Structure formats: C-alpha cells, structure tokens
Structure 1
Amino acid sequence: MGEKVVQQIRRSTVLVAVLVLFWWLSTYNSLVERFYSGKLFPVFAIVGQSITAWIPFSLGDCLYLLGILVFLVFLITIVVNLFRKNYSTALVRALKALNMVFVLMVCFYLFWGMNYFRLPLEKRMGLQMEIGESCELLEVTALCIERANSFRKQLKETDLQISNEAIFLKAQNLIASNSTLQPYIFSYLPTIKSPITNLQVNYTGVAGYFNPFTQEAQVNTSMPIFSKPFTACHELGHQAGIGFEDEANLIGFILCTESKDLLFQYAAYYNAVFMLLNQLAFQDRDAYFNMLKLIDPAVLNDAKEEEAYWRRFDGVLTHASSKFYNEYLQLNNQPEGLKRYSRMTKLLIAWKRKIAADF
C-alpha cells in the first residue's frame, strides 16, 4: 500500500473519530444546549455573519457551485485513472474526495448543525404539547381563518407591491428587536439574501433555505409575495440557531404576528391556515370541508396562485430534491422528514394555550 494511500486513510480515521464525537454529543440534548448552542454556536454565528452580512450576493451559493465543480473534477480524474489502470492514483483521488466529504460534515456540525440536537423549543418555552381534544384544532383553525380573512381585506394594492429588500429589512428588524423570542434564539446580524438565481431554486421547489457554512439565509424572490414575509422569518429562525423545521415555522409565525405590517400579519395567518387545514383533513374530513367554506375567496385565490406557481416547476428535479431533503431531515434528528413542517400545528395550539388572549 502506497504512502499516499496510508496518509489519506489516517486522515479519514481522524475525521471519522471527530464525527463519532459529534454523534456521542448529540445523544445528550442538555449538553448540546448548554455548551454548543449556548456557547460555541454563537461564536461561529458572530464570525460568519460578520463576514457575509456585508457581501451583497449569496457567498454560500458560490461556494456550493465551486464544491460541485471540484467534485466533478475528482470524479473525472478517478474515472480516467481507472481507465488507464492507474489504480493506486485512482484510490488516492477517491480517498481525497471522501475526506473532503468528511471535512464538510465536520464543518456542518461544528458551524451550525448540532442545533438539530439541542433541547426542543417546546421544552425551553414551557409549552404543553399534549393535545387530547380535536376541538382545540378546530378553534385555532377557525381563529386563523378569521384573522387571515380580516388582514386580506385590509391589504391594499400598494401593500402587495413592496420590494423584496423592504420585506427582508422588516424581517431582520423584527427578529433583532423581538423581546418574546430573545431568550430562545441567538440573533447577531440577521441578514436575508436572494439566491444568485431563482431558477434552480424554483425547480427544486424551495421557498427559502439557510446555508450553515456561511450563516446566510436566502429567500426565493420570484414566488408570490404573500409567502415571502413568513419564509423570510422562518429562515431567520434557522440563522438564529433553530434547527427543527416546525420550530422555525413557529418562530416565523410569532415574528410575523407581532409585526405592525399588514402583509406580515396576513402571511402569518395565511400560512398557518393551510398547515392547520392539512392536519384537519387528516383527522376530520367533514370538519375540513366546513372550514374551507369559511375562507374568503381572496385568500383562496392567493392559495390557487401559489399552487399554480409551483406547479409550473414540478418535475423530476423537484421530486429528487424533496426525496433528498426528506432523508437529510431524517438523518438530522427529524424522523418525520418533510412531515416535520406540519408539526407546527401542535406548536401553534400549544403557543395559543400559553399566551391565551394575546393570540
């Protein structure tokens, strides 16, 4: 066995040992909460956001593209060396590529990814998650429909013509100044950016995403405007150390409802309504159809517009992206996969319980 092969194997061993250490730590939520999310993650958040907040474009997108190109080069060189029967060189290249993957995994969990294993937000906020009666689901759904209808009627055409930059700025100011959430999140320089291009984002069916390597939150700026405020606040929740998707949804809801902006308030209840209805359709089909009758036609038209928008890009890439992300979530302490998003309905009901009349 060549010296270069042995050297790469040694590096692999060290990197795997570090990943095993992360895995061991992930089994102790209280340790993750106290030492990682409470002390180490804020350091990486401060450093990362201090660097990238002032860059006007998505640095993370550029790095992703560069990473894809690098791995393509490695793949080509491996295939070429195998074809030429340079097996030792091909093995070294393959081990280098594997080690690059291990390095990226270490960086992912070190910079942000361990937040997937912190104490659940429901415990930190003291939320009672036991929901024994369906009447609570009906009550919250009806309330959210009423609020969505009301805010939609108050929206003027000028409210729907607000720029992406203005939406981003309002969302950033909301999370920076929100006293309700400050004990549960770490917000330093909240920043939202547009993707370098929305085209690939549309075809993967993504409304927004967070880059854990560069601490950047991105929002798809070409989707219908009534979803942008909620998505922006959701991604800022991830940037602030919230890992679970349902928890980021709750963060987005709280931020939007505490805004004085009509579009933000509408976005909160609009998104909540259809998450709640999905849960209701699963539990009680008759109640689901009865609730649909309560929704204002303008709100339903917004939902149809959004559905039509995403349908334009539905295809092989969308389904492949969904499958990949579903498995990614399952690997990171969310066994429900993409269904984790809909768990926000339980958090929403528990949140209403806690704040009662202020909901």
Structure 2
Amino acid sequence: MSKHFKTLIALSIIPQIILVKIIGLFPNLVESYYSSGIYPVISKIARYIFGWIPFSVGDIIYTLAILLLIRFIIRRLPGLLKKPLQLLRELLVVISVLYALFHLLWGFNYYRLPLHEKLNLSEQYTQEELYNYTKYLIEKSNSIHRELNPDSTALIKIPYSRNEIYQMSLEGYQNLASQYPNLQIETQSIKTSLYSTGLSFMGYGGYLNPFTNEAQVNGLQINYRYPVVSCHEQAHQIGYSAENEANFIGFLAATNSSDLYFQYSGYLYVMRYALAAVKRNSPEQFEILKKQVYPGIIKNYIEVDTFWKKYQTKAEPLFKKTFNSFLKANNQTKGIKSYSYVVALLVNYHKANDGKKQ
C-alpha cells in the first residue's frame, strides 16, 4: 500500500465522523434504508457464514488482532516512535478502516428510529402505572415459579444445556414474528464467548460482535439467566442496538416461548428493573412489594449478586466507564443507564396490550 493511499485512508476518518453524525440526524431514513433495508441482508449473510461454526470466530479474530498488535509494538513501534507523523498515520489507517466497517456492518443501527416511536408507545409513565405493573410482574413470576416448583422457597435451576437454550431461544422470536415480522430470526449464530472469564470481570452477560454478527453469551453466568441473555444478544443481532430496546425485545422473546423456564428467566430479568424503579421513587412501596416476591425468587437474585461480587475488581468501574462513553458516542445519551430505561417500554407496552401476556 503506497504512502499516499495510506494518508488518504487515515484522513478519511474526519469526513467519516461528519457523515455519520449527519446521517444520525435522519432516523427515519436510517430506519427505512439501513435498519430495515441493507442491514437485514448483511446480518443474514453473516449468520449463514459464521452461524454453523461451533466456536466464536469473532473471538478468534480479536485474539489474532491482539497478537498482531503485540507483534507490531515489538517490531515496528520503536522505529515509528522516532517518526511520530508516520506512527499517527498508521494508527489512523486502522481506526478509519474499523470505524467504516463497524458502521456499515452494524453501527448505523444506533441511529435508527426509537422503538417506542415504531410501536406508538409513550416515553412517560405514572408512579401508579409503575406500581401496578410491578405487582403484575411479581404475580406472574410467582405463578411461574409455582408451576416449576410448588415449594415457594426453592431456587430454580434450568435443566437445559447452553446449546439447548440457544436453540430454544428461536421459538420466542418465531412466535413474535407473527405480530412483528422484523423480529424473525431464520438462521442462528449464537455462541458461548471464549472470553467469558474476561466478560465476568468486566460485568457483562454477553455482547454482539459487530464484525461477524455473532451473538456472544458469557458462559460462566448464573444458570437461570441464560435464556433471557441469549434473547437479549439476539435482539442486538437483528439490529436493535439500544440497550433498553434489546432488553425489551429479549424479554418479549423469552416470555413468548412456550417453555416455562424461558418465561421465568424473562420475567425475573425485567422485574428487577421494575423493582429498582419503584425503590428510587418510593422506598416504602418497594418494601411492600418486595415482601410479595417468593423467597425462591429472592434466592435466584442473591445467586446472581453473589456471582458478580466474585468477579468484582477495581478495574470493573473503568470498563463500565469506557462502555458508558462508547454508548454516549453512539447516540445513547444516557450511556450505560439506558439498560434500565427498559421500564418505560415495558409499562407502556403492557398498558397498550391491556395487561395480556406479552
């Protein structure tokens, strides 16, 4: 590659950033031409290419990239430090190429039309609506727990392997597709991440590889969370980049499964967000509601907390801060807090559907 061509690629990062920001001002166009047009084709092709491979190709690529970076540092960095402009050009070439690939293969979904607008749902809810919805979640979760185990104090364990859970996650999406065709998943590409230990230390249940479109799941997390986390990562996979939207769609997919364990995983996942929202606004109401939750469900929550505490390190806040900055840079103004903004979608979707099963 000639020096002149490298310089052009390096400098392209500036117009790229400007172009992305301009495109982001037109969410309807992004929704129509990218998220509902180009992207589904890209995603489907990627799932066909990588979905059948039993291990994470994306994680292998990341590993090779790290090794190449180490090789570059050892062999070329000492010489390039004497030529700072040349070093800057080399770095900008890599950044420019990755920036372009990221947005073309997945990243433009950050600028699509917000889901609440597509579903004609309000962004606001009253405290009474939140309280009533949380009561509904508690009743529903208790009911499913009772069906799985008549002992209200029992800890629920899912009797399926991870691969069985990945395959079973399709059913919820297939059931949803009759009402929302854009949520159809025909070809799966969901893997257990090779970096599950690292994800645990960083505090993440999974992630989507934007370059291979593989949905990656943390293989060390607590058993009952696998169904809803799998569904969450697949929501990212089909183009819903916002964390609150992926939480919402992942919940819908899990609870639209005919399997009670999937439903249990989905309801417990969002009930925790709802209870947290109640607690922020009314600690007294929270205490009242908390007493209505089955002891077995509380044990499942404690099991999750214990797991994350085991992997908690002083570096975790740095990882969360970095991801927070990444989200804010990609059109999620609330950053990592956007995970919890799923409550507004849940409350208003439930209200719009007259409290029927989602």
Shared fold by TM > 0.5? yes
Range 51-60 or range 318-327, more displaced: 318-327
Task: Tell me the distance in 2 between the aligned counterparts of 1:247 and 1:181.
Answer: 17
Q: Report the alpha carbon displacement of residue 54 of structure 1 after superposing the two structures with TM.
A: 1.1
Match of 1:268 among 263, 266, 269: 266
Q: Which amino acid aligns with 2:86?
A: V
- SS of 1:178's partner is helix
Gaps of 5+ in 1: none
- Among 146, 149, 155, the residue aligned to 1:153: 146
Q: Where do 1:112-261 residues align within 5 Å?
A: 112-131=106-125, 133-156=126-149, 160-179=158-177, 182-185=180-183, 187-261=185-259
Letter in 1 for 2:240: I
Establish whether residue 100 from structure 1 lines up as the match of residue 98 from structure 2: no
Aligned to 1:51: 49
Query: By how many angstroms is 1:23 displaced?
Result: 2.2
Once residues 7 and 271 of structure 1 are traced to their aligned partners in structure 2, the CA distance between those partners, rounded to angstroms, is: 50
Pair 1:158–1:330, CA change in 2 (3 A): closer
Match status 1:349 vs 2:343: no
Q: Which amino acid aligns with 1:114?
A: F
Give the C-alpha shift of residue 5 in structure 1: 5.2
Contact 2:80–2:87 (CA<8 Å) still a contact in 1?
Answer: no
Which SS does the other structure have where 1:160 is aligned? coil
What is the match of residue 20 of structure 1?
A: 18
Question: TM-score with structure 1 length normalisation?
Answer: 0.92
Asked if the contact 1:42–1:186 (Cα under 8 Å) also holds between the matched residues in 2, the reply is no
Code of the aligned partner of 2:284: D
What is the CA distance between 1:158 and its match in structure 2? Answer: 9.3
The one-letter code sitting in structure 1 at the alignment partner of 2:98 is L
Question: Does the alignment pair 1:61 with 2:45?
Answer: no
Shift of 1:258: 1.2
Q: Do the aligned partners of 2:177 and 2:183 also contact (CA within 8 Å) in 1?
A: no
Q: Hey, what's the Cα distance between the residues in 1 that align with 2:3 and 2:114?
A: 43
Residues 82 and 112 of structure 1, relative CA distance in 2, 3 Å threshold: closer
SS in 1 for 2:207: strand
After superposing the two structures, state which structure 1 stretch, 242-251 or 11-20, moved more.
11-20
Give the whole-Å Cα distance in 1 for the aligned partners of 2:221 and 2:291: 26
Deviates more, 1:105-114 or 1:59-68: 59-68
| Mapped contact 2:134–2:271 kept (Cα < 8 A) | yes
- The aligned amino acid for 1:202 is S
Change (3 A) 1:5 1:92: farther
Give the 3-state SS of the residue equivalent to 2:12 in structure 1.
helix
Unpaired segments of 5 or more residues in structure 2? 150-154
- Is residue 77–residue 93 contact of structure 1 (8 Å, CA) maintained in 2? no
Shift of 1:272: 1.3
Name the counterpart of 2:70: 72
Q: More deviation in 120-129 or 177-186?
A: 177-186
Q: Which amino acid aligns with 1:225?
A: N
Distance in 1 (alpha carbons) for counterparts of 2:299 and 2:105: 41
Answer whether contact 1:60 1:216 (CA < 8 A) is retained.
yes
SS in 2 for 1:356: coil
Superposition deviation, residue 95 in structure 1: 1.4
In structure 2, what is the equivalent of residue 283 of structure 1? 281
- Code of the aligned partner of 1:212: P
Deviations 1:287-309 (A, max 9, x none): 11111111111000111111001
Pairing partner for 2:299 from 298, 301, 304: 301
Would the alpha carbon gap of residues 166 and 24 (structure 1) be closer, same or farther in structure 2, given more than 3 Å must change? Answer: same
Specify the alignment match of 2:152 in structure 1.
none
Question: Structure 1 residues 186 and 260, CA, compared in 2 at 3 Å: closer, same or farther?
Answer: closer
- State the one-letter code of the partner of 2:96: F
Q: How many residues align?
A: 352
Tell me the alpha carbon deviations over residues 102-145 of structure 1, each in whole angstroms, 9 at most, x when there is no partner: 111110000011001000111111212332x2110000111101
Give the structure-2-normalised TM-score. 0.92
CA deviation after TM superposition for structure 1 residue 197, in Å? 4.1
Query: Cα offset for 1:76?
Result: 3.6
**Contact 2:273/2:343 (8 A) holds in 1:** yes
Q: Report the Cα distance in structure 1 between the residues aligned to 2:219 and 2:250, rounded to whole angstroms.
A: 17
Structure 2 counterpart SS, 1:128: coil
C-alpha deviation, 1:344, in angstroms: 0.6
CA deviation digits over 1:181-230, x for unaligned, max 9? 53444634133110124211211111111111101001112211111111
Residue 233 of structure 1 deviates from its aligned partner by: 0.6
Secondary structure, aligned partner of 1:209: strand
2:171–2:257 Cα contact (<8 Å) kept: no
Query: How far off is 1:172 after superposition?
Result: 2.2
Larger CA deviation: 219-228 vs 291-300: 219-228
Matched residue type, 1:92: Q
Please give the root-mean-square deviation of Cα atoms over the aligned residues, in Å. Answer: 2.0
The one-letter amino acid paired with 1:190 is: Q
Letter in 2 for 1:290: I
